[in-house]
């Protein structure tokens, strides 16, 4: 709603709409609603995108075991395909004490897992001497929280102190999300990502040397403007070398207001879909091989609930975010337990023989 062309389109297309509010004025919604209903006024409540952070707004959570906690807003990177800096403003970090209070409160309510959120979490700066590494170490100390995850870091900002904090904090997931977007240095330059294919692979190797049991997930965009077959083959090459545990794949779509939208040589839809299917097929081959490595191992599982496909089974996730189904009593829901993995089924694993509770 921050984008002016969307505001104008809404007003023209839906003249009966009484309230327009932006991403930074949610805290004003009760007052805006009052003015619209009682005062019979049309309300437009949109403020500067670099506005202040408001704490203590109510949050609706859909799970009683896992919770997302925003640690910062906005972005300074201006990737050429992304609208976020234009609608969410520049980076603004929450105060450490506010973040830690929210997570402490979640722990007291029985939450076991938190995911720290930000457009670029590893550029978090709570204070001059307090960055993302310090935040990870402080969340590690919170009693009751068993699993710490975060998304999304930026490869160019993945500093040594953050790698060391992950290594030394046993609650931090060993599945690291490291967005690639493209394996081609030329395409990465056009995306304004500020790293090369070689630098990305060097970072993966550095992290693996420090944290031998680390696994990686990533984001990849297929069909970015001017992407050649050679560029796409570079992406497949990185996928083969890194052997990602998970890939979130996207077919490039144009977004009005971005640099990429104005680029020439937009890729035809049929070519985008052909490349997407090639990437998907390669990843699916890797999934089966990766799953086989779990068979016979004991995995720490956060039990999330009853399986949607079989009411007699429970479901949970490994530290590497693999779905696991198993038989067990419902009083295990919300606990962290050990399971032995006995078989793989491509998109999920099967576990059995519950070990002692380790929560």
pLDDT in tens, 172-225: 999 999 999 999 999 999 999 999 999 999 999 999 999 999 999 999 999 999
- pLDDT for residue 1: 44
User: H-helix or E-strand containing 8?
Assistant: helix 4-13
CA 44/CA 6 separation, integer angstroms: 13
User: H-helix or E-strand containing 239?
Assistant: helix 229-242
77: left (phi over 0), alpha (psi -120 to 50) or beta: alpha
Mean pLDDT, rounded, of the chain: 90
Residue-wise pLDDT tens digits, 150-159: 999 999 999 9
Mean pLDDT, range 236-250, rounded to an integer:
97
Other CB atoms within 10 Å distance of the CB of residue 94? 20
- pLDDT for residue 178: 98
Sheet arrangement for strand 175-177: 175-177, 215-222, 246-251
Residue-wise pLDDT tens digits, 34-81: 677 776 677 666 655 556 666 666 677 888 899 999 999 999 999 999
Backbone angles phi, psi at 78, to 5 degrees: 55, 50
- pLDDT for residue 221: 98
Q: How confident is the model at residue 90 (pLDDT cuts 50, 70, 90)?
A: confident
Alpha-carbon torsion (23, 110, 105, 113), positive or negative: negative
Residue-wise pLDDT tens digits, 310-349: 888 999 999 999 999 999 999 999 999 999 999 999 999 9
CA 302/CA 289 separation, integer angstroms: 24
Q: Which domains does the chain have, with CATH numbers?
A: 4-45 (no CATH), 66-292 (3.80.30.20), 298-352 (2.40.50.140)
Other CB atoms within 10 Å distance of the CB of residue 202? 13
For residue 165, the number of C-alpha atoms closer than 13 Å in the C-beta half-sphere is 22
CA 113/CA 315 separation, integer angstroms: 15
Backbone angles phi, psi at 338, to 5 degrees: -105, 135
């Amino acid at each position: 709603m921050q984008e002016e062309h969307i505001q104008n389109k809404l007003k023209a297309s839906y003249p009966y709409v009484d309230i327009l509010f932006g991403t930074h004025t949610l805290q004003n919604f009760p007052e805006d609603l009052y003015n619209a209903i009682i005062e019979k006024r049309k309300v437009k409540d949109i403020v500067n995108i670099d506005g202040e952070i408001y704490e203590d707004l109510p949050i609706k959570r859909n799970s009683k075991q896992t919770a997302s906690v925003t640690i910062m807003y906005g972005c300074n990177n201006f990737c050429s395909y992304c609208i976020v800096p234009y609608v969410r403003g520049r980076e603004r970090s929450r105060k450490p004490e506010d973040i830690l209070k929210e997570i402490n409160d979640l722990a007291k309510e029985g939450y076991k897992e938190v995911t720290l959120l930000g457009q670029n979490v590893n550029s978090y700066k709570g204070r001059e001497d307090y960055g993302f590494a310090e935040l990870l170490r402080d969340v590690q100390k919170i009693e009751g929280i068993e699993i710490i995850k975060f998304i999304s870091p930026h490869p160019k900002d993945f500093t040594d102190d953050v790698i060391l904090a992950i290594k030394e904090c046993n609650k931090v997931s060993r599945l690291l999300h490291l967005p690639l977007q493209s394996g081609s240095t030329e395409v990465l330059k056009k995306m304004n990502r500020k790293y090369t294919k070689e630098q990305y692979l060097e970072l993966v190797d550095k992290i693996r040397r420090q944290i031998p049991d680390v696994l990686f997930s990533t984001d990849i965009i297929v069909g970015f403007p001017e992407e050649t077959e050679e560029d796409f083959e570079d992406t497949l090459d990185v996928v083969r070398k890194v052997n990602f545990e998970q890939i979130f794949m996207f077919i490039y779509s144009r977004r009005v207001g971005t640099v990429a939208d104005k680029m020439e040589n937009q890729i035809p839809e049929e070519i985008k879909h052909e490349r997407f299917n090639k990437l998907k097929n390669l990843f699916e081959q890797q999934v089966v091989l990766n799953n086989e490595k779990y068979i016979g191992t004991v995995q720490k599982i956060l039990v999330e609930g009853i399986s949607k496909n079989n009411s007699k089974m429970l479901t949970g996730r490994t530290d590497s975010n693999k779905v696991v189904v198993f038989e067990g009593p419902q009083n295990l829901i919300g606990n962290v337990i050990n399971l032995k993995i006995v078989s793989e089924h491509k998109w999920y694993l099967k576990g059995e023989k519950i070990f002692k509770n380790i929560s």
